[in-house]
Amino acid sequence: MVRLDVFGMYAKVPMAPFIYSPTTPQGGSIACALLSRIDIHQAPRFSQALEQPMLCHPGRNNIVRKMPVNHKEWVATPDATYFHGLVGASNAMQMLFHDTARLAKSDAPVLILGESGTGKELLARAIHAESLRHNRDFIAVNCASIPAELMESEFFGHLKGAFTGAHVTRKGLFQMAQGGSLFLDEIGEMPSNLQAKLLRALQEKTIRPVGSEREEPVDVRIIAATHRDLEKEILENNFRSDLFYRLETFSLRIPPLRERANDIEHLLFALIDKHTELQDKTLAQVEPEALNALLDYSYPGNVRELENAIMRAITLSEDGILRHRHLPERLRTHSVNISPGLDPVDGNVLPDTQPSSPYAGWPSLQEIEKRYIYKVLEATGGNKRRTAEMLGIARRTLYRRLEED
């Protein structure tokens, strides 16, 4: 067994599948790696030393990566790319992991903000796993899935005979999560009357089951999440401001995938490993055309959409090869619609009028560079691979430039 770095991911694979070639211009070796046995639990490491474009061995579709000649041994080192099921090497995700680990030690409520499919429940589970309550229960509920008339009973429990159909005394979610964490997903869907009772439970740390005259003490950490703009919901009288400020003691925002495109390749290999194992399949190759389509798509459905695309492709794959035709139509169409011949890019990135002062009003070199990158990105229809080629930089470098403020 040997290890090599595949797109910045340490893979543990048998020696037989490797094909080495000494014919690269830099004199380095090119290794074609089987992806079927990538071990994401070996702490994959993004290597700054391997800032080189992705290559393919001549005449083969295998995914390959250039390796320095003088790199004698590949050793997996501790890495923060993986955090309790979340994957991210981008600056935004690294900061999110850092903040999560720190605030998890507190018992204060946490509000997680993010678009649908970004992984809000995974982050909530990460908070619980990092907290002092990690050995107690984590209870998750989607507020949008509970009928409004049953919500109070679901949250606080009820006594036998409290209402028609209450044949037995039943614990609510707060009692079930006693000593642990209660995750309230899509809290923006909670009706206003229950919002008031949730606020009281947070402030007083007591609840009153339906039909009871006594209040019960509870020790539960609340983690809430929503894709809605709660401040806008407050202005429209759909959400209580006092509950919002109580929940927002700590707030975390998960960036959408389009804001951290550099993470797509890390997610891609982690999801390939996950779904080949779940489906008990072996994946030996990914067509370059399929890989480019996966890396260039904007994913409005975020990580969930990427995972669904990978799951579908692996299900349809044959002979251990993930092909372009196995991808969902929207990903295939997105890549096909990019015109092979592009009009020249308008390179004018300076102000329309010259600044009056010779020392003020001029854009910085960084601003000019970013304006030009966006012009080329617009000209390619958002195709980051083609944009990187036109700019003469590696795609990973392009992702970093787009992430910079």
Rounded (10°) angle between helices 302-316 and 264-278: 50
Q: Are residues 25 and 14 in the same domain?
A: yes
Segment 274-292, tens digit of pLDDT: 999 999 998 888 888 898 8
Q: At 100, phi and psi to the nearest 5?
A: -60, -45
CATH code, domain carrying 151 = 3.40.50.300
Q: Are residues 60 and 76 in the same domain?
A: yes
Q: Are residues 148 and 189 in the same domain?
A: yes
Of 234, 254, 274, at which residue does a domain stop?
254
Lowest mean pLDDT among 60-74, 255-269, 309-323: 60-74
How high is the pLDDT of residue 141? 95
Q: Where are the alpha helices (DSSP H) in 317-383?
A: 329-336, 365-379
Is residue 90 assigned to a domain? no
Q: Are residues 52 and 113 in the same domain?
A: no
Q: Are residues 267 and 332 in the same domain?
A: yes
Residue of 25, 30, 27, 16 lying closest to 59 (CA atoms): 30
Q: Are residues 246 and 110 in the same domain?
A: yes
How high is the pLDDT of residue 387? 81
Q: Are residues 243 and 129 in the same domain?
A: yes
**Section 102-111 average pLDDT:** 94
Rounded (10°) angle between helices 365-379 and 395-403: 120
The DSSP code for 178 is T
pTM of this prediction? Answer: 0.68
Q: Are residues 249 and 142 in the same domain?
A: yes
Q: Give the containing element (helix H, strand E) for 216.
A: strand 216-217
Segment 288-312, tens digit of pLDDT: 889 888 988 889 999 999 999 999 9
Tokens of 266: 């890390």
Dihedral over Cα of 259, 261, 262, 265: its sign: positive
Is residue 100 assigned to a domain? no
**Section 310-315 average pLDDT:** 95
CATH code, domain carrying 381 = 1.10.10.60
How high is the pLDDT of residue 162? 84
How high is the pLDDT of residue 65? 29
Burial letters for 300-337: b for 16+ Cβ neighbours within 10 Å, e otherwise? ebbbebbbebbbebbeebeeeebbbebbeeebbebbee
Compare 47 and 352 and report the one with higher pLDDT: 352
**Section 27-43 average pLDDT:** 31
- The answer to whether 159 and 211 have CB atoms below 8 angstroms apart is yes
Work out the pLDDT band at 359, boundaries 50, 70, 90.
Answer: low
Q: Give me the number of domains the chain comprises.
A: 3
Neighbours of 15 (CB within 10 A): 7
Residue of 267, 254, 256, 258 lying closest to 297 (CA atoms): 258
- The answer to whether 186 and 225 have CB atoms below 8 angstroms apart is yes
Residue of 302, 296, 295 lying closest to 269 (CA atoms): 295
Q: Are residues 113 and 232 in the same domain?
A: yes
How high is the pLDDT of residue 405? 56
Is residue 60 assigned to a domain? yes
Q: Are residues 185 and 240 in the same domain?
A: yes
How high is the pLDDT of residue 81? 83
Is residue 233 assigned to a domain? yes
Q: Are residues 375 and 287 in the same domain?
A: no
Is residue 230 assigned to a domain? yes
Is residue 53 assigned to a domain? yes
Lowest mean pLDDT among 56-70, 141-155, 171-185, 313-327: 56-70
Is residue 91 assigned to a domain? no
Tokens of 151: 């919500």
Neighbours of 278 (CB within 10 A): 10
Of 233, 254, 275, at which residue does a domain stop?
254
- Whole-Å CA distances, 284 to 32, 48, 248, 367: 10, 26, 46, 43
**Section 326-354 average pLDDT:** 60
pLDDT of residue 39 exceeding 50, the answer is no
Q: Are residues 123 and 189 in the same domain?
A: yes
Segments forming the whole domain that contains residue 166: 105-254
CATH code, domain carrying 298 = 1.10.8.60
DSSP string, 40-92: GGG-----GGG----B--TT----EEEE-TT---------SSEETTEE--SHH
Is residue 96 assigned to a domain? no
Work out the pLDDT band at 397, boundaries 50, 70, 90.
Answer: confident
Of 221, 254, 287, at which residue does a domain stop?
254
